């Protein structure tokens, strides 16, 4: 794998990832862009113990451009994009409209009005130069290169001052809120541990104190032994619908050897991942039948916080879920979910797992 670093016209970093060591990436960004000037603010909610980022500059971000104006496609004569090259394999660049940006700084203000810089970094990961593709249609080799990019960026972003957690994810589909149709994902480097991760780490710590065991190991072992909700098993990975799934169709994918983050995966797990993940994504597209449009989904890598105590007890895993509950119908987060964080699921997890097994390899 070869990495090539360059800069866009406004100073943002762009990194090409190529499978071949002899790849040459020397095209310059010829757009007349001014240096980026963005700033975010993080405000602390004392009643929930959570940070909320205010990023008003994102109101002006690109919104559903036509295919011939896609900013993630390679540049062509008369159409310059975020990618100066005329082709690429995987490209990662700093988001032009980042939620998190800038250097860390101390919290200021007096309770209950405490704020801090919305510091961090947001990157866009372009999975392929093909505008009409999807991750599910990538080859195993292409998927392996994306995994290399995720791993590389997770390691490098974790070293930035003030970064506490790195989050790699993909939003797919207009129903999810995607504003660009080109196959891509994002990476957030947060200046704090996210609420979801902090809650899981508390549960892991409590379980360790009560039983002496690791909670992730307990859950994965129990789901594998029960088998009812297992969707796919391989030598180094196992995927299952969780017993208390929140979403209509939700799959958790774990490496069989517990590791805290992507850089810690061993070579065997890396080699097997593309086939396993591609099969899961292709099954998701078959859930609702051939007459339905591609299934909208969120695919989220959960990694241990960068510097938190007990990070080695955390288990790297991927959560893949859709908000579509049946053909033509979406699962909306209405009163109970949005106001109380109290989920009510529409599809029994056992039935969801059965359906995901039914559509295997078709």
**Residues labelled catalytic:** 184
Give, in order, the Cα–Cα distances in Å from 188 to each of 175, 323, 356. Answer: 21, 22, 30
Give, in order, the Cα–Cα distances in Å from 206 to each of 74, 214, 342. Answer: 49, 10, 22
Q: What is the DSSP string of 322-350?
A: ESEEETTEE----IIIIIH-----SS-HH
Half-sphere exposure of 286 toward its Cβ, with a 13 Å CA cutoff? 16
Phi, psi of 244 (to 5 degrees): -115, 55
What is the SS3 string spanning 90-151?
Answer: EEEEECCCCCCCCCCCCCECCCCCCEEECCCEEEEEECCCCCCCCHHHCCHHHHHHHHHHHH
H or E segment and range at residue 195: helix 195-211
Judge contact between 144 and 269, C-beta under 8 A.
Answer: no
Judge contact between 83 and 12, C-beta under 8 A.
Answer: no
Which of 178, 163, 38, 155 lies closest to 92, judged by CA? 155
Which of 221, 155, 164, 218 lies closest to 189, judged by CA? 164
Q: What is the DSSP string of 250-295?
A: EEEEEESS--SSGGG--HHHHHHHHHHHHHHHHHHHHTT-TTSPPP
Give, in order, the Cα–Cα distances in Å from 12 to each of 74, 123, 180. Answer: 17, 10, 19
């Amino acid at each position: 794998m070869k990495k090539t670093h360059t800069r866009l016209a406004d100073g943002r970093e762009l990194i090409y990832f190529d499978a071949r060591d002899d790849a040459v990436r020397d095209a310059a960004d010829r757009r007349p862009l001014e240096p980026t000037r963005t700033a975010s603010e993080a405000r602390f909610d004392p009643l929930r113990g959570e940070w909320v980022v205010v990023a008003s500059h994102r109101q002006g971000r690109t919104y559903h451009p036509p295919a011939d104006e896609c900013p993630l496609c390679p540049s062509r004569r008369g159409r310059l994009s975020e990618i100066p090259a005329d082709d690429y394999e995987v490209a990662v660049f700093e988001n032009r409209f980042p939620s998190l940006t800038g250097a860390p700084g101390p919290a200021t203000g007096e309770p209950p009005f405490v704020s801090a810089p919305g510091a961090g970094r947001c990157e866009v990961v372009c999975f392929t130069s093909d505008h009409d593709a999807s991750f599910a249609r990538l080859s195993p080799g292409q998927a392996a290169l994306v995994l290399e990019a995720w791993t590389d960026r997770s390691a490098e972003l974790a070293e930035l001052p003030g970064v506490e957690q790195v989050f790699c994810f993909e939003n797919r589909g207009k129903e999810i809120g995607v504003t660009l149709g080109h196959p891509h994902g994002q990476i957030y480097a947060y200046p704090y541990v996210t609420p979801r991760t902090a809650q899981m780490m508390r549960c892991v710590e409590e379980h360790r104190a009560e039983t002496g065991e690791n909670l992730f190991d307990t859950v994965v072992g129990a789901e594998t032994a029960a088998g009812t909700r297992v969707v796919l098993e391989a030598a180094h990975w196992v995927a299952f619908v969780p017993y208390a799934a929140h979403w209509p169709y939700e799959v958790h994918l774990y490496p069989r050897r517990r590791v805290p983050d992507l850089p810690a995966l061993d070579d065997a797990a890396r080699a097997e991942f593309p086939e396993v993940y591609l099969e899961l994504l292709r099954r998701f597209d078959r859930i609702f039948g051939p007459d339905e449009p591609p299934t909208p989904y969120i695919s989220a890598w959960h990694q241990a916080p960068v510097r938190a105590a007990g990070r080695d007890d955390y288990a790297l895993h991927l959560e893949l879920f859709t908000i579509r509950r049946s053909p033509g119908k979406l699962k909306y987060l209405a009163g109970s979910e949005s106001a109380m964080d109290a989920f009510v699921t529409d599809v029994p997890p056992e039935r969801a797992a059965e359906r995901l097994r039914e559509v295997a390899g078709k």
